[in-house]
Amino acid sequence: MTPARARLSANYRNLALWTLQGWLAMFFIAAGYAKISEPMINLVTLLNWPAMADEAFVRGLGWFEVMLAVGVLTPLLSWRVGRPVLLVASAGLLALEAVMLGVHLLGADWSLAAVNAALLALTAPVLWFRRS
């Protein structure tokens, strides 16, 4: 591969990864904000699992999701400082998505399980390709 072609390929990969990071941040900021601000009755209606959890846990999970989402975007401020935060946030999102995939599968919430599987497919490449 020529050096020009390698640079072009790296640029496209970087653009794709930033796109995925933006989508992840938007999704988890919205999901976290909903868990923080919505009445529990609405969350139970939409998600089912909050009926089995303490309200403080659900609200805390919302704050955790928002913090991880912001962490995914920290390299916008500084690559040297933000990259480790991005890697930790991506790993945290990957773990959260895997756990929630299991929760949704056990609860037979197939559509929510599919959403978590899609989120896993978006997060894994961010963690994999940003680690180097």
pLDDT digits (tens, 9 = 90+) for 16-33: 999 999 999 999 999 999
The Cα–Cα gap between 37 and 28 comes to 14
Q: Are 29 and 131 in contact (CB under 8 A)?
A: no
pLDDT, tens digit, 9 for 90 and up, residues 64-106: 999 999 999 999 988 888 999 999 999 999 999 999 999 999 9
Residue 75 CA neighbour count, 13 Å, CB half: 19
35 closest CA partner among 7, 67, 12: 67
Q: What letter represents residue 117's amino acid?
A: A
Task: Tell me if 127 sits within 8 A of 87, measured CB to CB.
Answer: yes
Question: Which residue, chain included where needed, has tokens 């653009």?
Answer: 15
| pTM (predicted TM-score) | 0.89
